[in-house]
Every structure is written in structure tokens, then in C-alpha cells.
């Protein structure tokens, strides 16, 4: 895989490390103001990303097979359409923006576009456990579900996209509406999600704690490998990848 890293912050660097570990190449990296492209001679050329036109030109020069987009809620709505317009498959992990139009464009043009609020394999399994517990306790109204989520102080969206996803899972499985979410933003915590079912005299808790961003990077790279190897097109989800691999159909 020859990948372009769109957004070269902490997650971008973690994805680069995961790509290298799994034997892939990095076609280029860009941050907020410029892009660094790797030439065949091993030289890094810097490009200004001051406009959609300059970004498109830089993408042409990089000629990637796929792009990882981990930018910001403000940048993603501008960056992702450029990538998709160049027919480049995109794995997007930016939360806090409306992906509806990007997904529609990907569907119409049959371009692979996988967006997820969380690329952790553990969280994907947690979601299924939450659904099973909520369905089992649905006949017992004394068990009230709720979520506490904690992330690093620099995370902008609250509640997190993962917390919203888990709340939606709870609502669907339990038949309840308006699941309570408490959000904390502290220090450098990569991410923690606690789902609890509070009864009159007992509590059931399900929890996932991320110890580093490496888990999200690894999941994103494995999902990208799956997306390219299976030839799937249009809008996709991390669940599509996880379900396929869990069933042993397309292990990566």
C-alpha cells in the first residue's frame, strides 16, 4: 500500500508507524500548512496547502493508492471532498463533522470511503457486548444505562463520536431514549469509555481503556488493507471490516 497521510499530528505519526510495521509505503505527509511528498529519489518536497487547487496538485504528485484523513472538524469537510474527487480511497477518522455529503459522493462515484469515530478492535467488540447486555436487561426497567467517557484535554468534541455511537447502540438495544453521557477532558488520556447499567442494589459495568493511540492506528491500517483487498466501494464503516474479519471471511 502506498498511503498519503492527511493530517500529521499525533494520530498521523501513529498511523505512519503502523504502516511501516506492516510493510507499507508513505507517499506523503501533510499538516496544517504544507505537505511533504516522498520522491522516487528519496527526496522530500514541500507543498503549500493554501487552497483546494494546491492540495489537488500535491495529491497528483504523490499518486497514492489510499489516503488516511485525521485532521480536524473544520478541515475535514474541505479536505475529504478533494481526495474523493481525485478518485482516492479514503479512511477518515476525524469526528465532529457531518460526513453525509462525502458519503453520498462516494456512493455516487463508487469510491471507497471508510469513516469511523473509533478504530479500536476492542471498542468494536465492546459495542457488541453493550448491545447484548442492553437487550438482556431491557425487560428490567430498574437498570438504567449511562456512559462516562474521558479523553485528553486537547480533544475538541464532547461527547466523543465513540460515546455517541455507544449511546445509539444502547438506545436501539434497550428501547430507551436519551442515554445520559458524562464527558471529561483531562491530561493526556487517549480514551476511556465506561458503560454502566445502574440498578437499585447492583451495577453492571463494561469498560474500555485505550493505553495509547497505537490501537487506533493499527485498526485504521488493517481496515485500509481490508478495503483495498476486498474491492469494496462506496461508503463503508469499521463495522463492515470488523464483521467480515470476525466471521473469518477476509482476515487481514
Among residues 24, 115, 151, 208, the one annotated as catalytic is 151
Task: Determine the Cα–Cα distance for residues 119 and 92; give it in Å rounded to an integer.
Answer: 10
Percent of the residues in the chain that have a pLDDT greater than 70, as a whole number: 89
Among 24, 115, 155, 208, the one annotated catalytic? 155
Q: Coil, strand or helix: which one is 70?
A: coil
User: CB 228: neighbour CB atoms within 10 A?
Assistant: 17
Q: Would you say 169 and 128 are in contact if contact means Cβ atoms under 8 Å apart?
A: no
What is the average pLDDT score of the chain? 89
Question: Which whole number is the average pLDDT over 184-201?
Answer: 94
Reply yes or no on whether 151 is catalytic.
yes
Cell of 125: 467488540
CATH class of segment(s) 121-210: alpha beta
pLDDT attached to residue 199: 96
CA–CA gap between residue 98 and residue 80 (Å, rounded)? 11
Q: Whole-prediction pTM value?
A: 0.82
Diameter over CA atoms, the chain? 68
Give the 3-state secondary structure of residue 178.
coil
Which pLDDT value is given to residue 52? Answer: 65
Cα 59 to chain centroid, rounded: 21
| Active-site residue, 193 included | no
CA 106 to chain centre: 17
Q: Which helix H or strand E contains 139, and what residues bound it?
A: none
* Neighbouring C-beta atoms of residue 96, cutoff 10 Å: 15
Q: Which tens digit of pLDDT belongs to each residue from 135-171?
A: 999 999 999 999 999 999 988 889 998 999 999 999 9
Q: CATH topology of 2-115+214-246 equal to that of 121-210?
A: no
Read off the pLDDT of residues 212-229 as tens digits, 9 standing for 90 and up.
989 999 999 999 999 999
In the chain, where are the structural domains located? 2-115+214-246, 121-210
Alpha carbons 207 and 204: distance in angstroms, whole number:
10
- Mapped onto helix, strand or coil, the DSSP state of residue 209 is strand
The more confident residue out of 96 and 121 is: 121
**d(C-alpha 115, C-alpha 92), whole Å:** 5
Q: At residue 222, what are phi and psi to the nearest 5 degrees?
A: -65, -35
Residues 119 and 154 sit within 8 Å (Cβ to Cβ)? no
Write out pLDDT tens, residues 101-113: 999 999 999 999 9
Q: Residue 45: is its pLDDT beyond 60? A: no
Q: pLDDT tens across 161-188, in order?
A: 899 999 999 999 999 999 999 999 999 8
CATH topology of domain 2-115+214-246: Rossmann fold (3.40.50)
Distance CA 114, CA 93 (A): 9
Amino acid at each position: 500500500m502506498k498511503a498519503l497521510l492527511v493530517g500529521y499530528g499525533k494520530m498521523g505519526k501513529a498511523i505512519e508507524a503502523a504502516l511501516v510495521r506492516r510493510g507499507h509505503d508513505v507517499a506523503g505527509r501533510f499538516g496544517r500548512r504544507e505537505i511533504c511528498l516522498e520522491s522516487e529519489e528519496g527526496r522530500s518536497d514541500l507543498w503549500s496547502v493554501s487552497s483546494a487547487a494546491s492540495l489537488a496538485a500535491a495529491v497528483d504528485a504523490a499518486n497514492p493508492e489510499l489516503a488516511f484523513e485525521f485532521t480536524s472538524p473544520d478541515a475535514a469537510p474541505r479536505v475529504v471532498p478533494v481526495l474523493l474527487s481525485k478518485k482516492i480511497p479514503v479512511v477518515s477518522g476525524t469526528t465532529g463533522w457531518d460526513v453525509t455529503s462525502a458519503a453520498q459522493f462516494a456512493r455516487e462515484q463508487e469510491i471507497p470511503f471508510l469513516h469511523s469515530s473509533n478504530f479500536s478492535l476492542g471498542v468494536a467488540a465492546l459495542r457488541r457486548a453493550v448491545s447484548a447486555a442492553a437487550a438482556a436487561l431491557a425487560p428490567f426497567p430498574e437498570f438504567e444505562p449511562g456512559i462516562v467517557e474521558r479523553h485528553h484535554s486537547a480533544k475538541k468534541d464532547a461527547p466523543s463520536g465513540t460515546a455517541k455511537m455507544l449511546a445509539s447502540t444502547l438506545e436501539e438495544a434497550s428501547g430507551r431514549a436519551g442515554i445520559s453521557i458524562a464527558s471529561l477532558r483531562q491530561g493526556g488520556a487517549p480514551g476511556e469509555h465506561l458503560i454502566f447499567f445502574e440498578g437499585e442494589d447492583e451495577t453492571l459495568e463494561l469498560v474500555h481503556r485505550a493505553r495509547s493511540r497505537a490501537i487506533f492506528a493499527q485498526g485504521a491500517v488493517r481496515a485500509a488493507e481490508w478495503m483495498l483487498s476486498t474491492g469494496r466501494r462506496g461508503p463503508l464503516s469499521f463495522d463492515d471490516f470488523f464483521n467480515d474479519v470476525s466471521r473469518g471471511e477476509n482476515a487481514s
